[in-house]
Amino acid sequence: MTTADITSKSAIAIDKARAEGRAALIGYLPAGYPSVEETIAAGIALARNGADLIEVGIPYSDPVMDGPVIQAATTEALAKGFSVRQVFDVVAGITSQTDAAVLVMTYWNPVVRMGVDEFSRRLAEAGGAGLITPDLIPDEAAEWMDASEKYGLDRVFLVAPSSTPERMRRTVDASRGFVYAVSIMGVTGARSSVSSAAEDVVAAAKAAGAERVCVGLGVSTAEQVAEIAAYADGVIVGSALVAAVRDGGVDAVAQLTKDLCTGLTRK
Amino acid sequence: MADAPTAGSDEGTVDAFLEGGTSLRHAPGPYFGAYGGRWMPESLIAALDELEDTFEKAKADPEFIAQIADLNKNYSGRPSLLTEAKRFAEHAGGVRIFLKREDLNHTGSHKINNVLGQALLAKRMGKTRVIAETGAGQHGVASATAAALLGLECVVYMGAEDCRRQALNVARMELLGATVIPVTNGSQTLKDAINEALRDWVANVGNTHYLLGTAAGAHPFPALVRYFHEVIGEEARAQILEQAGRLPDAVCACIGGGSNAIGIFHGFLDDPSVKIYGFEAGGDGVETGRHAATITLGRPGVLHGARSYLMQDDDGQTIESHSISAGLDYPGVGPEHSYLADIGRVSYEPITDSEAMEAFKLLCRTEGIIPAIESSHALAGAIKVGQRLAAEAGTAGASDKIVVVNLSGRGDKDVATAAEWFDLLDKDSAEAVIGKEGEQL
């Protein structure tokens, strides 16, 4: 990880969990689903019930890494008129009420459209921790490297079971805050079991020098959280929380978060 | 005449276009000026690297070159003809018009060139399954064909709206042993089929090759797809020199993602005397917002793995494109075209649905050739280019002007759409029901 002089909000949140002898919980919510206000309320519920970091997703027209649950939610948000700048309202709404580190997860074109520098400035202004970029690899990230340095934002790139040791190193070197380990070759969505590939990806990322590695994709239950917490620094839950928002609103998010947290403590 | 995509074999015979001798014909990627690259999930980078490595080795392997040449000649029926369209040309200011007859290839379009090449690469990588997206169905049919020929499993993603417009092509793919999966997300057209194919690829990349059908996407696809279509331009250039004794004044092609166009342009990019035109789908007219004129009205952005011109709103959300032609109904375009537009080497212009359908009818009536609606955009553009050339040259000089048009596909698949457009169907006929109500065969 580069530039030790910039304080990483994500790293602080993960290290706090580590000091408590547990993995960090990272929860994903799509902005504007079912409304901007409810996303903020759900984010606050996530944080107050035990999530250490929150990923706010920007609904996008072509979400190639997302499975049906998140696709349906983001499509609905777009149909209701969600606009990208509202993501900063969501971030500010959550960071003003909680201590959670709030990252934005976004496909790259909406950032390009607004301008990488402008987007970064507004994200920092809203109190955001940084960006998770599912379709941006370090090879194409020159502009984002500059902007994230300028505004002190975390750069969370993804590593996958298919990443070679060389790419693993390059991605780890380019990241700040943590590295997002994709547990499985596939798209987002709950799965009945966590792939055994996940532990190998974490080990490879650590071998490449990563200080903090969090695992996502397919995690939906406290049992799966516990399994991953044994070897990773953080556990990322997405589709299961989106389904909770869909089926039971903010209360369901709070309940699921509490439940997921029972898996965080390392045995 | 070249009968294989022997890249670089005739470099000594053409003048480099740019000063300083830089050729435009073999741009290797990943970048074409500010365009191209790899805007892709990390999960797929290893597969792209493997494909690039396999492709580079294959290009240098005489056995691979010979395999392609053999398939092109003995399976696809190459070289495709270059046919002078004399009666059609009377409507284009009296210039001479030659049609590069990709419609005569096996499966009825240029698409076969690329799928045979990529299916061979899939075999070389030890993959047993290919997936493909399709708009009009031409690439899906071609992919299913190559998969059947080479013994690969084939799954084709096709927008549900396109399945309706091209019901017979769905049946063709299934006859060839492919599985067709209708995509109901988003606009239910080509871009959404690509999204779904990418999701499949991420999950199955170990045994699956994504047989991308156009010269777009992440590196190495734009350069790789062009490579397999370069044969179009190489043949066309040699044929026009043989038949007319000189290079053409203009070359015209239609542009969706831009694979047929980059293939024929390749032959002429380094010939400064040849003006090159790409015709995009203008849909209902670019002023209506219902079109697919990506370069004409789009702005640079990233979609499906490459930076290129893109139809997008102020938030960077992709705008749904509109065209009567399923094969051109795509809000993106290959990155090499964006570069060629920016440096001014190729002029890109929109052609409306109406203009394309008039050219469609004209070619049917004057030459006895039913063109694909995609290719009809190039024909409509050629009429405009011909009239401009004639205006410059005067009546006496017009007949010395030469325009080559890439007739990228045949129109058999479009007969229902055309019959509906020209109101030729009895309203109770089965075909009218298919055309209007979307019933699949």
pLDDT surpassing 60 at residue A212? yes
The pLDDT assigned to B433 comes to 62
The mean per-residue pLDDT over the stretch B162-171 comes to 85
Nearest to B125 by CA among B222, B224, B8: B224
Cis peptide before A68 (omega within 30 of 0): no
Cα–Cα distance measured from residue B198 to residue B247, given in angstroms and rounded to the nearest whole number: 41
- As a whole number of angstroms, the distance between CA B135 and CA B139 comes to 8
Q: Could you give the CA distance from residue B87 to residue A1 in angstroms, rounded to a whole number?
A: 69
CB pairs under 8 A between A and B: 109
What pLDDT score was predicted for residue B436?
54
Amino acid (one-letter) located at B6: T
The beta-carbon neighbor of A135 closest among B39, B205, B314 is B39
Q: Check A5, A15, A52, A55 and give the catalytic one.
A: A55
Q: Do A158 and B41 touch (CB under 8 A)?
A: yes
Nearest Cα of chain A lies from the Cα of B428 at a distance, in angstroms, of 37
* B436 phi and psi angles, rounded to 5 deg: -95, -30
Sign of the torsion formed by the C-alpha atoms of B39, B211, A217 and A93: positive
| Cross-strand bridge partners of residue B133 | B157
Q: Find the helix packing angle between A36-48 and A239-261, rounded to 10°.
A: 20
- The pLDDT tens digits for B279-297 are 999 999 999 999 999 999 9
Q: What is the pLDDT of residues B294-350, one digit of tens each?
A: 999 999 999 999 999 999 999 999 999 999 998 898 999 999 999 999 999 999 999
Quick check: B42 and A108 CB within 8 A? no
Q: What's the rounded Cα separation, in Å, for the pair A221 and B270?
A: 60
What CATH number is associated with residue A194?
3.20.20.70
Phi, psi of B78 (to 5 degrees): -75, 160
Query: Which residue on chain A is closest to B40 by alpha carbon?
Result: A135
Task: State the CB neighbour count (10 A cutoff) for residue B249.
Answer: 20
Which of 3.40.630.40, 3.30.420.40, 2.60.40.1930, 3.40.50.1100 is the CATH number of B33-77+111-221? 3.40.50.1100
Q: How many angstroms separate the CA atoms of B145 and B159, rounded? A: 20
Residues of B with CB under 8 A from a CB of A: 37-47, 49, 185-186, 191-192, 195, 198-199, 202-206, 300-304, 310, 312, 314-318
A43 touches chain B (CB under 8 A): no
B314 to A113: CB separation less than 8 angstroms, yes or no: yes
What pLDDT does residue B63 have? 98
Sequence-separated (6 or more) residues with CB below 8 Å from residue A221: A240, A260, A263
Continuous segment of H or E residues that includes residue A216: strand A213-216
In the predicted model, is pLDDT for residue B3 greater than 60?
Answer: no
What's the pLDDT at B342?
A: 97
Alpha helices in A49-183 (DSSP H): 68-79, 86-95, 108-114, 116-125, 142-151, 165-174
Question: Is residue A263, in this structure, part of any structural domain at all?
Answer: no
Q: Report DSSP letters for A106-142, one per residue.
A: --HHHHHHH-HHHHHHHHHHTT--EEE-TT--GGG-H
What's the one-letter identity of residue A187? V
pLDDT digits (tens, 9 = 90+) for A101-148: 999 999 999 999 999 999 999 999 999 999 999 999 999 999 999 999
Closest partner CB to A185 (pick from B39, B40, B202): B202
**What is the arithmetic mean of pLDDT over B26-35?**
96
Closest residue, chain A, to B203 (C-alpha): A186
- Shortest CA distance from A71: residue in chain B: B185
Cross-chain residue pair A162–B40, CB shorter than 8 Å: no
State how far the Cα of A49 lies from the Cα of A91, in Å rounded to an integer.
18
Whether pLDDT at A194 is above 90: no
**CA–CA distance, A121 with A100 (Å, rounded to integer):** 20
Q: What Rg do the C-alpha atoms of chain B give, in angstroms?
A: 20
Q: What backbone torsions phi and psi does residue B2 show, to the nearest 5 degrees?
A: -70, 130
Please count the CA atoms within 13 angstroms of the CA of B346 that sit on its side-chain side. 30
pLDDT at B11: 39
Residues of A in contact with B44 (CB under 8 A): 162
Taking an 8 Å cut-off on Cβ atoms, the answer to whether A158 and B43 are in contact is: yes
Which residues of chain A does B198 touch, with a Cβ-Cβ cutoff of 8 Å?
64
**CA–CA distance, A163 with B42 (Å, rounded to integer):** 7
Q: Is B133 a catalytic residue?
A: yes
In Å, how far from its chain's centre is CA B30? Answer: 20
> Partners of A57 in the beta sheet?
A30, A105
B33-77+111-221 and B82-108+231-437, same CATH topology: yes
Among residues B102, B133, B280, B367, the one annotated as catalytic is B133
**What is the amino acid identity at position B365?**
R
Mean pLDDT of chain A: 95
Name the percent of chain B lying above pLDDT 70. 93
Residue B102 pLDDT more than 90? yes
The answer for residues whose C-beta is within 8 angstroms of residue B366's C-beta and 6 or more apart is B85, B87, B88, B90, B91
Q: Are strands A24-30 and B153-159 parallel, antiparallel or unpaired?
A: unpaired
- Nearest residue to B221 via CA among B194, B246, B200: B194
Flag whether residue A224 sits within 8 Å of chain B, measured between CB atoms: no
> What is the spatial distance between Cα B122 and Cα B55, in angstroms, rounded to a whole number?
10
* Token digits of residue A230: 């044994």
Which pLDDT score, from 0 to 100, does residue B165 have? Answer: 73
Residues contacting residue B25 through CB under 8 Å, at least 6 positions apart: B11, B14, B266, B269, B270
Asked if B47's CB is within 8 angstroms of A162's CB, the reply is yes
Best mutation site among B42, B307, B312 for testing chain A: the one with the most A CBs within 10 Å? B42
The sign of the CA dihedral B170, B174, B177, B179 is positive
* B21 — pLDDT class (breaks 50, 70, 90): low
The sheet carrying A234-237 orders its strands as A154-156, A130-132, A101-105, A53-57, A24-30, A234-237, A213-216, A179-182, A158-159
Give residues with Cβ within 8 angstroms of B333, minimum separation 6: B216, B255, B256, B257, B258, B280, B294, B295, B298, B308, B309, B310
Asked if A111's CB is within 8 angstroms of B316's CB, the reply is yes
Q: Is the Cβ–Cβ distance between A241 and A253 less than 8 Å?
A: yes
Report whether the peptide linkage leading into residue B220 is cis, meaning its omega lies within 30 degrees of zero: yes
φ and ψ at B139, to 5 degrees? -70, -35
- Strand B275-285, strand A53-57: pairing: unpaired
Look at residue A245 and tell me if it is in a domain.
yes
Tell me the C-alpha distance between A182 and A201, whole Å.
8
Q: Which domain holds residue A55?
A: 9-258
Please indicate, yes or no, if residue A3 is contained in any of the structural domains.
no
DSSP 8-state assignment for residue A31: T
Domain total of chain A = 1
Gap between the Cα atoms of B124 and B120, Å rounded: 6
Percent of chain B with pLDDT over 90: 83
Are A197 and A231 in contact, with CB atoms under 8 Å apart? no
Tell me the average pLDDT across A172-197.
90
Predicted local distance difference test score (pLDDT) of residue B13: 38
pLDDT the model gives residue B7: 38
Distance of alpha carbon B119 from the chain centroid = 18
Cα distances from B109 to residues A113, B131, B179, B186, B327, in angstroms, run: 36, 19, 21, 28, 11
Q: Give the pLDDT of residue B2.
A: 39
How do A24-30 and A53-57 pair as beta strands?
parallel
Contact criterion met (CB below 8 Å) for A53 and A102? yes
**A110 shares contact with chain B (CB less than 8 Å):** yes
To test the contact with chain B by mutation, choose from A113, A155, A173 the residue with the greatest count of B C-beta atoms within 10 A, namely A113
Tokens of B209: 């090759």
Q: How far apart are CA B272 and CA B264, in angstroms?
A: 15
ipTM: 0.95
Segment B395-431, tens digit of pLDDT: 889 999 999 999 999 999 889 889 999 999 877 776 6
Tell me the pLDDT tens digit for each residue of A235-256: 999 999 999 999 999 999 999 9
Section A261-267 average pLDDT:
89
* Torsions phi, psi for B267 (to 5 deg): -70, -20
Residue A267 confidence (pLDDT): 67
Q: What is the pLDDT at residue B432? A: 64
Q: Which CATH class is domain B82-108+231-437?
A: alpha beta
Sign of CA dihedral B44, B45, B46, B50: positive
pTM of the model as a whole? 0.94
A267 falls within a domain: no
Probe site for chain B from A60, A61, A83 (most B CB atoms < 10 A): A61
Do the domain assignments include residue A207?
yes
**For chain B, what is the mean pLDDT?**
92
pLDDT value at residue B406? 98
Two tokens, residue B136: 């009009």
Count of residues for chain B? 441
Look up tokens 């590295």; give the residue.
A179
Sketch the domain layout of chain B as residue ranges.
33-77+111-221, 82-108+231-437
